[in-house]
Structure 1
Amino acid sequence: MSRSQIYRRALPLVFGLTCSVVSVGACADERDAFDPQDRTFDLDASSADAPSCLVECSLDGRSIIDTCTGAVVETCRPELACGGAKCQEPCAAAAADRSSNGCEFYFQMPRMTKKYPHSCEAAFIVNTSTQPVTLSLVRDGRPIDISSSLFRAEVGSSTLAPLLGPIPAGESALLFVSDSPPQSGLPLDYIACPSEVTPATTVDTVPEGTGIGSSFLLTASVPIALTSMYPFGGAPSIVPTATLVLPVATWAKEHMIVNGWAASRTGDPSVQIVAAEDDTEVSILPKADIEDGARVVGTLANNKATYRLAKGEHLQIVQSAELTGSLVTSSKPTTLFGGNSCARIPGTASACDVLSQQIPALEQWGAEYVGVGYRPRLGNEHEPVYYRIVAARDGTRLDYDPAIPPGAPTTMNAGEVVQFSQGTGDAFVVRTQDSEHPIYVSAHMTGGAGNDTNVGAPGSAQSFFGWGDPEFVNVVPAAQYLSSYSFYADHSYPETSLVVVRRSSGGEFKDVWLECAGNLPSWKPVGTRGQYEFTRVDLARRGGPGDSFGEGGDTRVCRTGLQRMRSEGPFTATVWGWAQYASYAYPGGFAQRKLVEMPFAPIN
């Protein structure tokens, strides 16, 4: 199980104090005098009056340890796990830990338009516990039989074998959630589930455009990590995407809409707002008009709109007017999935792709991020990667290291979104003045084929001879890095790049271990402050194996499939896969700690 890393002289969040356990800056009240030219952080500024030693969970989640000596204070019983610095039932421990591991998850297809066929929808599941896990799937309050839909996923292999019984501790599985019913005449871009698979359902409950739909509820007996992939094996589908799914225990009542990209002639911005409880009232203060839809009454910009959702329902809004930056509040915890029905990035690009990412709640947004892209598609480290920054509060000031990227903002107000491009290898750090001025950052792959000659005006889209296509992914805040990850790289993509960023801990960088490689080499600095480094690993190249490590009989080769990583320090890992006119990306996991204490203005 991934555990939150708590360092000596840093105050742990689980004790209700005001600094994040992995915060890269001082507390908010000590950063109000933020100097954009300041190149240092005082990691201990918040701990002058704090006790020098506390207790925390061990990295493996099996014991409680002293933060100063590392000595074991208490070993958890086999049926328990450590979370919130105490031994408790595993699902409760995961909820206290506030990470992407959990026991209850809601998700749905990002099929916001029906002009693309209902292809194979799958979920990749990693058992992050020390006990076997059993799963159940429900939609519209009715259980769904998954006994013929669960398959083993082996390390470094694309071979599927039926999984009978629970998922063993530390192992993984693929759950084939839905597909079109067997029929003839399906279009060429339809991607079926593997022939040996029986999908759990063949019914699509996501509305066409704006409307109310229903989501899947996946429940696990012990904590898991979950990724939704649509379509599975989707490189030939042309419109694939994937998202890390966040557990219900980390949901909140304050959000800001983040769409995947602006509208184009092929696709519109989208958002799916999901409720986990009956009688959930959702209020939106939209930055643009909300258009009417099925069971949805729209409203004018800057006028409050309120909707009521039942357990497992989602409100989907798909329209040309982007709603990014619109505040959302709810009477009970909710979550948002932002996307686009088929985005062109940039708008003049000639090919589009579906976008979908689950967006963390406002209280989980960070004040510092590292931007670095995938391995360049054609070898040029200055290949443009688009970044979008969304500000949560007025008066947000931004500082960059080593330099301000062209077009990047230095001041922003609440709900403002700014996009700019930076070379995929031109890594940078962006930070705000304090944790009470959080931002959201996303990274975007551009279309693979250059400008659309039908647009009628010169464009800025670069051609990559069809390799890759639009995709967007959450950039993980530095304060939400974890110390271990397990994730799946889809074997149908001939190119797969793993991007790893680590942060210094105690004045040094800790080794990062990848199962197929050992301790990763070839780290490059990010910026001038000496706080971050990055490296990349190919998991697939030109349709074959990825990077190899070691020599002679000790040579190890990385491949797609199940990946496992760990370190004694904080790091993040994002997987990018691409093929001809197709791509997907998602972070391998991240913490969901509450980083923002001050509530946001109510919607009136």
Structure 2
Amino acid sequence: MMSFKRSRVIGAVSVAVVGVALSLLGSACKSDRAVFSAPEETFIAAEVDAGECAAQCSLDGRSVIRSCDGEVIETCAAHLACGGGACQAPCAAAAADRSSNGCEFFFQIPRYDPAKFDQSCAATFVVNTSLEPVEIALAYEGRKLDLSGALFRTNPGDATLIPHTGPIAPGESAILFLSDRDPEVAPPSPYDLYRGRIACPSGVVPALVGELPGGTRIASAMHLTTNVPVGLSMIYPFGGARSFLPSATLLLPVATWAKQNMIINGWEANATGPASQIYASEDDTEITILPKVDIQGSIGVKAARKNMPVTYRLDRGQLLQLVQREELSGSIVESTKPITTFGGHGCAFVPSSDLGPCDTLHQQIPSFDQWGSEYVGVGYRPRFGNEHEPMAYRIVAARDGTQLDYDPEIPPGAPTTLSRGEVAHFVRGTGDPIVIRTQDAEHPIYVGAYMSSCTEGFNKVSFEGAGDPEFVNVIPSGQYLNSYSFYSDPTYKDSSLVIVRAKTRGEFKDVWLECAGQNLTDFRPIGTRGEYEFTRVDLAKSGQAGQKFGDRVCRNGLQRLKSDGPFTATVWGWDYAASYAYPGGMALRKLVNTPLDPIR
């Protein structure tokens, strides 16, 4: 008789889905809202030792099953979800499965350069990924904020805001308007119209109204909590093309934070300076940075010399924000308690030679042990149809002697070896996918992808106002999931959904997209090894609806995808001199076993 042990490892790739609302109504499609039905309790068979049969969660997160034959060991009660191979409370299940779905988040707007840009409207997109209604609480400096005028929903493909009251139903989404400056107070500069200022839409009462501090400082974070897991992303400023400076990020829950991190700035200094944020979720958190360059001090933030450790102390809900001309990317950060970092830029020219419009950059960065040794880079739908439209990929190495391999070939200018903390970038066509590998899991790297400016791309070609600089985390293949629920912003005229799937046990599994009402086709091979494929779906094009699938049409709004195999999904949106991008979700598994050397 086979024994079983509790586990979440499924072969080479862990497939983690916590209470994903696979059987719920909701769509971003033209037709009536279709049922998003749960798949049968299939699984990717685990490679287990003879005589063992690991317990794992079913793909819908509702049962504990045996990995070897799919037999149901336990069906979770309605108020529970499966996580870590066991039925438990939904938030505990999400924490056990370590993905971007969670119940507690800290974050703040990228208020990096207040001398140049006035504070604007900030919003989050909340997706209920559980089977129970979600209740949201938002606090700032320990004070619970009033959300009665801050929650709204939209219909598929329509940017019209509809007030929302009460909990968010299972599988549904809402826009939560976080903050804005007080419109009754005169702006700091008389040149308000030239400073990127965009207010929240008429009828919106954001949760927090007031001027938030910027620049290098210790500041207070927003604290969002829920009763069941949600997927959460933030965009700043909210408002599409009118915002001019937008950037978006997937937000990562506190349960996935760690004690070893590395600073990743958004880009090198040009229009303004690179920036980073470091957050604490517990009191008396000591954060030690080994800076690659001098840290420029400010009020409440002591300066530090290059390669000399410096320690800062944060309490729960505080963040250390560093904004300066010299880039800190590759600097190691150690802490006594789990923390998280964001990387950004006050307003970046990408490429740096461009002197046209710049954009804010802002991404939450996974911790060091969640970095991967293998990434697949694929770009958005090219802005003018040229699949060789150049975009940038930026790599940061965590260890000395990191060797890089590329498939199908080494791109011009791409590094083949990197040292600890070293930063490099190369340019590749949006439709010229690339697999980036290192020699092993103990030599992880960070990879980010970039859209260039609308006035001058990497090939010196103008895009006539379409899009602008943005960067997004490329998800390591070891952090792919098999189901995603996320929201694409309806205020943008163009939206491109990019899907990459990995081969499982020698075959590619179908990927089902709700707005298409079918499994996606037209997957294209990546590289020469045959391990990955990609496809794209238009959610909006030139201000019109997106891609048609028979009598269905995909549109901006709530999106859902599922598969029996691992894949990743990233949404890019752009408009006149504006763009945003973020992954639809990711696992946050520990992929690196050997920690970084302690800072001494």
Q: State if a TM-score over 0.5 links the two structures.
A: yes
CA RMSD of aligned residues (A): 2.0
Which residue number corresponds to residue 319 of structure 1? 324
The CA deviation at 1:421 is 0.4
Q: CA deviation at 1:293?
A: 1.1
1:577 maps to 573
Q: Does 1:193 align with 2:200?
A: yes
Superposition map of 1:447-462 within 5 A: 447-450=453-456, 461-462=460-461
* Match status 1:482 vs 2:488: no
Task: Look up the match of 1:132.
Answer: 133
CA deviation string 1:361-409 (max 9, x = no partner)? 0000001100110011111111111001111111111111111111111
Deviations 1:288-344 (A, max 9, x none): 000011210111100001100111111000001000000000111100000000001
Q: Which residue does the alignment assign to 2:20?
A: none
1:496 aligns with 2:495: yes
Amino acid at match of 1:135: I
Structure 1 position 99, deviation (Å): 0.1
Q: Please tell me the residue identity of whatever aligns with 1:81.
A: A
Take 1:353 and 1:543, find their aligned partners in 2: how far apart are those partners?
21
Distance in 1, Cα, partners of 2:483 & 2:12: 22
Question: Cα deviation per residue 1:75-103 (whole Å; 9 max; x = unaligned)?
Answer: 00111000000000110000000000000
1:603 aligns with 2:584: no
Residue identity in the other structure for 1:21: S
| Residue type of the alignment partner of 1:504 | K
C-alpha distance in 1, partners of 2:11/2:298? 42
Q: Which residue of 1 aligns with 2:177?
A: 176
Contact kept in structure 1, 2:137 and 2:224, CA below 8 Å: yes
Deviation of the 1:164 alpha carbon: 1.6
Deviation at 1:155, TM superposition (A): 3.9
Is the contact between residue 106 and residue 216 of structure 1 (CA under 8 Å) also seen in structure 2? yes
Any conservation in 2 of the 1:346–1:460 contact (CA below 8 Å)? no
Q: In the superposition, relative to structure 1, how do residues 22 and 526 fare at CA in structure 2: closer, same or farther (>3 Å)?
A: farther
Q: Would you say the 8 A contact 2:8–2:56 is kept in 1? A: no
Classify the secondary structure of the residue corresponding to 1:294.
coil
Correspondence 1:415-434 to 2 at 5 A: 415-434=421-440
Structure 2 CA distance for partners of 1:546 and 1:386, relative to 1, 3 Å: same
Structure-2 change in CA distance of 1:528 and 1:52 (3 Å): farther
Cα gap change, 1:383/1:52 in structure 2, threshold over 3 Å: closer, same or farther? farther
1:5-404 aligned within 5 A: 14=8, 21=14, 47=47, 49=49, 53-114=53-114, 115-183=116-184, 187-188=192-193, 189-205=196-212, 207-264=213-270, 266-349=271-354, 350-404=356-410
Question: Contact 1:127–1:133 at 8 Å: present in 2 too?
Answer: yes
| SS at structure 2 position matched to 1:96 | helix
How has the CA–CA distance of structure 1 residues 76 and 379 changed in structure 2, closer, same or farther, with 3 Å as cutoff? same
Partner-residue secondary structure (3-state), 1:193: coil
SS at match of 1:126: strand
The separation in 2 between residues aligned to 1:603 and 1:390, in whole angstroms, is 19
- CA-to-aligned-CA distance 1:10-68 (integer Å, 9 cap, x gap): x99647x9976369xxxxxxxxxxxxxxxxxxxx9x95856553221011100011112
Q: Which runs of 5+ in 2 are unaligned?
A: 17-43
**How has the CA–CA distance of structure 1 residues 184 and 286 changed in structure 2, closer, same or farther, with 3 Å as cutoff?**
closer
Aligned to 1:589: 585
- Using the TM superposition, give the Cα deviation of residue 496 of structure 1 relative to its aligned residue in structure 2, in angstroms: 0.8
Partner of 1:28: none
How far apart in 1 are the matches of 2:359 and 2:85? 43
Q: Output the CA distance in 2 between the equivalents of 1:599 and 1:248.
A: 20
Residue aligned with 1:125, SS = strand
Q: Any residues of structure 2 matched to 1:517-532 within 5 Å, and which?
A: 517=516, 518-532=518-532
Structure 1 residue 203 displacement after superposition:
2.2
Helix, strand or coil: the match of 1:363? helix
CA distance in 2 between counterparts of 1:460 and 1:519 reads 36
Equivalent residues of 2:6, 2:85 under 8 A apart: no
Q: Secondary structure at the match of 2:589?
A: coil
Taking a change above 3 Å as real, the CA distance of residues 234 and 589 of structure 1, as seen in their structure-2 partners, is: same
| Number of residue equivalences | 559
CA 1:22–1:490 in 2, change beyond 3 Å: closer, same or farther? closer
Give the partner amino acid of 1:507: G
Query: TM-score normalised to the size of structure 1?
Result: 0.89
Counterpart of 2:417 (choices 406, 411, 418) is: 411
3-state SS in 2 of match to 1:592 = coil
Which of 411, 428, 446 is matched with 2:452 structurally? 446
1:339 match: secondary structure: strand
8 Å contact from structure 2 (residues 61, 83) kept in 1: yes
CA–CA separation in structure 2 for the residues paired with 1:203 and 1:184 = 9
Deviations 1:549-596 (A, max 9, x none): 11xxxx111111111111111110100111111110000000000111
Aligned equivalents of 1:443 and 1:533: distance in 2? 18
- What are the Cα deviations for residues 216-273 of structure 1, in whole angstroms up to 9, with x where unaligned? 0000000001001111123212100100000000000000000000000x21100000
Give the Cα separation in 1 of the matches to 2:236 and 2:300: 26
CA-CA distance at 1:73 after TM superposition: 1.3
Q: What CA distance in whole angstroms lies between the structure 1 residues aligned with 2:299 and 2:11? A: 43
Find the residue that maps to 2:208 and give its secondary structure. coil
Tell me the amino acid that sits aligned with residue 588 of structure 1: G
Deviations 1:454-494, CA, capped at 9 Å, x for gaps: xxxxx964311121111000000001001111111111211
Deviation at 1:154, TM superposition (A): 3.6
Shift of 1:148: 1.9
| Aligned residue type for 1:279 | D
Against the structure 1 CA distance between its residues 242 and 12, is the aligned structure 2 distance closer, same or farther, given a 3 Å change threshold? farther
1:556 corresponds to:
552
Q: Gapped runs of 5+ residues in structure 1?
A: 1-10, 24-43, 452-458
Partner of 1:534: 534
Between the aligned residues of both structures, percent identity stands at: 59
CA distance in 1, matches of 2:314, 2:336: 10
* 1:182 positional shift: 2.2
Could you tell me whether the CA contact under 8 Å between 1:291 and 1:319 is conserved in 2? yes
Indicate if the aligned counterparts of 2:48 and 2:54 stay in contact, CA closer than 8 A: no
Counterparts of 1:358 and 1:51, CA distance in 2: 42
Aligned partners of 1:157, 1:466: CA distance in 2, in Å? 23
How big is each residue's C-alpha offset from its partner over 1:429-468, in whole Å with a ceiling of 9 and x where there is no partner? Answer: 11111111111100011111028xxxxxxx9643111211
Residue identity in the other structure for 1:477 = P
Q: In 1, Cα distance between the equivalents of 2:219 and 2:596?
A: 28
Q: Counterpart of 1:494 in structure 2: which amino acid? A: K
Q: Tell me: CA distance 1:390–1:50, structure 2 relative to 1, closer, same or farther (3 Å).
A: farther
- Aligned-pair distance for 1:176? 0.7
State the SS of the aligned residue for 2:379.
coil
User: How far has the Cα of 1:185 moved from its partner?
Assistant: 6.8
1:157 Cα offset (Å): 3.5
TM-score normalised to structure 2 length = 0.90
Correspondence for 1:34: none
- Runs of 4+ residues over 6 Å off in structure 1: none
